[in-house]
Amino acid sequence: MQTTWLISGSSSGIGKALIEQLLERGDRVVATLRKPEVLDELKARYPEQLWLAQLDVTDTPAIRRVIKQAFTELGRIDVVVSSAGYALFGAAEEVSDEQIDQQLQTNLVGSIQVIRACLPFLREQGGGRVLQVSSEGGQLAYPNFSLYHTSKWAIEGFVESVAQEVAPFGIEFTLVEPGPTRTNFGAALVSPPPMAVYDQTPAGDVRRAVASGRFALTGDPVKMAKAMLEVAAVSPAPKRLLLGTGAYERVHGVLTERLAALEQQQEVAHSTEID
């Protein structure tokens, strides 16, 4: 059975791999991206299946216009994948106000507005699935990625809440959390001028590791896309889909530590209740 997908931020990496797999199996895809011409070759191969639209997710009126047009022209969209984003790389003191605004407008507000624009249509058609691309960085944190982590932790909170709001309408959500993946993510890092005072700090250590290529990009975007394709058919939808061996180990570790720390505070927590 043919399904229809809407994918934002799909010019490369996992998003593009997902589009290719969907088209190969015969599904229809709405792909929104800032430069739709990068998918012209796919459009030529699948003219009846691929619907392209230019969209910058920092432009909320454009989000609403494009998504309304997509649902109107295609009739039904079964799965929405919100994946537009990038990483701001620098210590919190180094980044500029403008860079902070751009990071949050793209990764957080843009993702929120894509979901909000789709909800009325998904509700009216009787349900659907939303895959929000987050990151292992939505559950843990590295130095020099503070604003990126802010956007990912925040979108996870938004999805956790809105999923409960719209569950009665048959709309289900999954947060997709990839670990380091062989995409152009590293090349797309936005970095402010470094401050020498951070050279001998954890922020400086991470900066040198990234510059030297010591960050192991072991995730396969094709395999990750396949896992996303498969999870969209699972019901009830899992809240999260963690992708990558290292990501699993790191997230498992921080959650175990967090639970242990919480349990140590049990007595204090109980002691603050009204007598």
CA distances from 90 to 38, 121, 199, 212 (A): 29, 39, 12, 16
29 neighbors 3 (Cβ within 8 angstroms): no
Beta bridge partners of 31: 7, 52
Would residue 212 show up in a list of annotated catalytic residues for this protein?
no
Question: Residue 128: CB partners within 8 Å, gap ≥ 6?
Answer: 77, 78, 79, 80, 118, 122, 170, 171, 172
Distance CA 168, CA 61 (A): 27
Question: Residue 236: CB partners within 8 Å, gap ≥ 6?
Answer: 172
Cis omega before residue 236 (within 30°)?
A: yes
241: left (phi over 0), alpha (psi -120 to 50) or beta: beta
Question: Which among 134, 135, 146, 151 is annotated as catalytic?
Answer: 134
Neighbours of 273 (CB within 10 A): 6
Question: Which among 82, 148, 151, 198 is annotated as catalytic?
Answer: 148
Question: Residue 13: CB partners within 8 Å, gap ≥ 6?
Answer: 181, 183, 184, 185, 221
Would residue 12 show up in a list of annotated catalytic residues for this protein?
no
Would residue 248 show up in a list of annotated catalytic residues for this protein?
no
* Active-site residue list: 134, 148, 152
